[in-house]
Each structure stands twice: as structure tokens, then as C-alpha cells.
Chain A
């Protein structure tokens, strides 16, 4: 048992010294697959554009702020070919109408879990990953100037695909990983009130026609993340761009939310071993 931990410590030290280890590789110690994991905390600031016809036919634009956590690790069952990723986020939008005399506030939380198959190309410098994912996202858009349609509630759960391409190179003698990631929900379920249905009616007990099967015919969501991860020892600094595109069309209600934001992050890599 002690010998195993010594091996783990040596492997971790070697990883740190080499400064070239990335989450997408795997090590073996005492026949146990070591699974490098990466955790990253991110903060984003950018531009949001919101059109929610339940609240207003006018598009609102303004500030987008987001905090995210990402954890990515090779899977336990086949760590050289498969990796899994969990992301958690909370997002706030502060947007104004065209003439600037009214503000809407949007608060959303989301979680996404996916598992991707990896292909190594170009002498392992380029890795391409692709696989299924599931995503849950919910929150509210609030317009204090409205009456009984003061808030638009958004809740959805979906399954779809995610893909990633990562190019490992060096910058200033330090490893840097350039990564593009995209998530594309395909089907799912989501909440929407009827065209002019009030939340008071829902409170009274009318629950009909609130949950809808989501597919590309009535909603289309897409998230992309382009990042550069610069490895400084065990620490990773991230700089990137996130774009999110959410649109739905159900019950004659239209929602179009676009955000573009600058992402900065800090994280690190660590090793874990599967215990017998």
C-alpha cells in the first residue's frame, strides 16, 4: 500500500517537472491507471442579447457575467480512449432595451456532463474528442416593468453531443493547450407557459401544456468555448472565448439569447488512481 503511494508521488513529481503532461494522457503505476484530472474555475464577462417575446417583442442588449467550474478527467474504464467532463455554471445578464429606459435581469444556472472518445492525431499533438452529453439549464428573466408577465421562467434538460479538439504546443517554453469545444443539445424536455398564460393560472393548478419535448424543430441551443490553457507548473491559466446561442419557438413564444464573452480561468492538474 505504501509502495503504491510512493509511486503515485513520484509520478506526480515527474509530471510537474516535465510540465508537459495534459489531462488527455494517462500514466500507469503498479498496473494502476493514473488518471490526470483538470479542474478549472472560470470567470467570464461579455455581451448578452435577449429576446423573450413572453416579456417583450423588443430585443434587449447588455452585460453578461458568468462563473463556471470545469472538471475533466479520463474515465476509469478505458482512460486512454475516454474522458469525461463536468461543468457547472451560474450566469447573470443585465440588459437594456433599445432606448435604454428599461432593464431586464436574467439569472441562469446550468450543469453539463459528457463523456468523449479520444483520437490522437499528428503525433499526439492534436487530440480530437467526441461523445454524448447531458445538460440541464434553468433560471429566470425578470422585467420589473411588466404586470402579470413579470418573469419568464426557463428550465430545460437535454441530451446531445459534444466535441473537442485540442492542440498541444509550447509558448515561452511552457506547454500550452489550444482547445475548441462545442456542445449541441439534440433532444430533451423544457418548460414553457402557453402564449399568454399567467403564472397565476399555473399557481391555481393548471399544469397542462407546460412541458414540451425539445428538438431542433422547436429549439436550438449551441455553446462553444475556445481557450488557451497555459501550463505553469501545476497551475493552468486560461484565456478564451465563450459563445452561447439559445433559441426556442413554442406556443407562439420566441426566445433568442446570444452571449459572447471573454473567459479567464485558473486551475490545476492532479492525478488520481483507481483503488482496487
Chain B
């Protein structure tokens, strides 16, 4: 009898434990209220910068929820949700519907500070090489120039070897990442590793480890190694930036800024130091948001951008006579370094 009783006890315990695995999942109606609540809750549980940006998300809820009703059109709901998301001041936060994408693109409020045609015509004379999304050439005064406009475009090690061997004789190198809206962080590592000769601390990454606003895992320090058996460029380097240098580009600039032979010239970058995740509302709209904060090598969150070492804006006068003020300043800096 006793063994049987033990078996029953064991079964009850196991069944109870199994019940613990039967967890409840939130479900929302596919109407205006349901979609609004889903959006608010997804952000509430996953967004990573509430404390950093001092946003009271509950207060935001009460303010916007009062304006939501099931008689709203999709367009009205989208506008209202987009407006609510702008409270987060985050370029990585977008509501994506079939008819529109809500956005907080800070660079739209600042000087453009980049004109591709001016560079192509007056600095490169329409004579440049282009591979793996990188445009490159040696300018007059023996200064190398490479423009990388999209970190989503992959580059092979062989391509980089050819680019850097072509630029090897230049006295200094300008890496132009203006208007580069980001892409893959693995390409950041690939590019940075060509400008270092020893292991560097590249920053730290963390992530939400629970739905609470302050639930974060211990930051994980990560390091970049110089690429082995490939060409490196260790002469002076200037990186050109503007407000449209965003996300992965922002990360690239933050790391390059920590290198002793690198100077950042131009405008503050666009920021975006949270690796974005994506979720979904019942009506199929996608919500992208900052999820995993990445700090710069000196431990700073660069969500609102990396400040340049030398702040320069392009002027209309320079542009009218075919000059890029930021590029001119970079060339001056490298020439002065040479002398």
C-alpha cells in the first residue's frame, strides 16, 4: 500500500509541476483597442530605454488610451500609435503597416551635410573604383578616400585587401560614412579589424532578461581582433559623419573614435545604439523597437549619437562652388598630420 501511495504522491507532484508549464499567453482582439493595447504592452515589456530616456510609459498609456475607440479607422489608429511611439525619441522604433511606416528620424531635423554629386564631380572627377558597396580612390594631395554607404552590403576579405592595397600609398585615409543608415554589426567588426593592430575593447552589449523596465542582463564586454593574414591600414584616419550616420554606423563611429590614430569629423551621428527586435500586432502591423543596448568602448550609451572630434557643417557657399566643407577639413587635418 505504501509504495502505491508514494506513486500517487509522485504523480500529483508531477502533474502540479506540469501545470506550471501551462502558462497563459496574452491575447488581444483585432480591433482598435486590442491593437493599441498590444502595441503598448509589447513596448512596455521589451523596450530597453525607458529609464535612460526618463519616459513614464504608464502615463503615456493613460494619455493615449483615452483617445482610442473601436470606431477609429485604421489610418487614425496608425497615426495615433505613431504619435505615441515618437514619445520614445528613437530612430529604431517604427510601426510598419502596409500603407506607411511611422518614424522618428532625427536627421530630418538637421543639416544634410552630405552631397554625393559634389564629391563625385569635384573630388573624384567621376573616376573612382567601386566594390562591395565601397567607392574608393586616392585624392589629390595623396589622401585616400573611401565611401561606405550601407553596412548591410557585405564585403569580402579579398575585396578589402584590394581596396586597402590600392590606398596603401596614401598618406592618410578618409572613411566617409555619411548617410550610412546602418546594417549588419558583423560588417562593423570586419571593417574595424582592418584599422587595428591589437585586440581592442569594442564595447559591451546587454539585453532585457525580463518584462520589467529595469530587467537587464549583466553587460557583456566584447572585443575585436585585428584580421589575421590580411592588409591593415594603420596610418592616420579621418571618419566623416553626419546625422544620418545611424545604427550600425553609429556603432562603427563610436569604436573608431576610441582608436588613437582616428579623428571623427563632421556632425554628431544619428545615434541608435539599441539592437532592434521586431514584434507584431493582431492586425499584422509590425513593431520594431530598440531591444539590446550597446555601449561604446568608454561605456557610454550613444543612443543620441556620437559627437565628432571636430565639429564641421557644410556651408551653402562651399557647396555652391563645388566644395564639401567637411571633406575639406578632413583633408586639411591629414595633410597637417603628414607635415
Contacts and interface: CB of A to CB of B under 8 A. Distances in A.
Interface of A: 51, 53, 56-58, 97-102, 145-149, 194-198, 200-201, 203-206, 209, 215-220, 247-249, 251-252, 254, 256
Q: Which 9 A-B pairs have the closest CB atoms?
A: A196-B208, A146-B278, A206-B220, A216-B18, A99-B284, A204-B222, A101-B284, A216-B17, A220-B21
B276 to A, nearest CB: 5
A215 to B, nearest CB: 7
Given A57-B26, A145-B286, A251 B209 contact: yes
Given A101-B284, A148-B275, A149-B277, A201 B208 contact: no
A195 B209 contact: yes
Contacts of A198: 205, 207, 275, 277, 291-292
B14 interface: yes
B25 A256 contact: yes
Contacts of B286: 102, 145-146
A153 to B, nearest CB: 15
A252 B277 CA distance: 16
Given A101-B98, A195-B209, A147 B277 contact: yes
25 contacts: A53-B25, A56-B280, A57-B25, A57-B26, A57-B279, A97-B280, A97-B284, A99-B30, A146-B278, A147-B278, A197-B217, A198-B275, A200-B185, A200-B186, A201-B205, A201-B207, A205-B222, A206-B205, A209-B209, A218-B21, A220-B18, A220-B21, A249-B20, A251-B209, A252-B211
Interface of B: 14, 17-18, 20-23, 25-26, 30, 38, 42, 46, 48, 98, 185-186, 205, 207-211, 215, 217, 220, 222, 275-284, 286, 288, 291-292
B23 A148 contact: no
A35 to B, nearest CB: 33
Contacts of B185: 200
Contact of B21 (A56, A100, A203, A219): A219
Nearest to A53: B25
B292 A216 contact: no
Contact of A57 (B14, B280, B288): B280
A149 B42 CA distance: 14
A130 B220 CA distance: 47
Contacts of B98: 101
Q: From A100, A195, A218, name the one whose CB has the most chain B CB atoms within 10 angstroms.
A: A195
Most buried by B among A57, A194, A198, A209: A57
Chain B CB within 10 Å, residue with most, of A56, A98, A147: A147
A58 B276 contact: no
Contact of B42 (A57, A101, A102, A248): A57
A98 B14 CA distance: 34
Contacts of B186: 200, 203
A51 B25 contact: yes
A147 B93 CA distance: 12
Contacts of B42: 57
B21 A247 contact: yes
A148 B25 contact: no
A173 B22 CA distance: 46
Given A101-B98, A196-B291, 11 more contacts: A53-B25, A148-B291, A195-B215, A198-B275, A198-B291, A198-B292, A217-B18, A218-B20, A220-B22, A247-B21, A249-B23
Given A57-B38, A196-B208, A204 B220 contact: yes
A237 B220 CA distance: 56
Given A194-B209, A205-B220, A58 B21 contact: no
Nearest to A250: B21
B210 A195 contact: yes
Contacts of B21: 216-220, 247-249
B211 A148 contact: no
B179 to A, nearest CB: 21
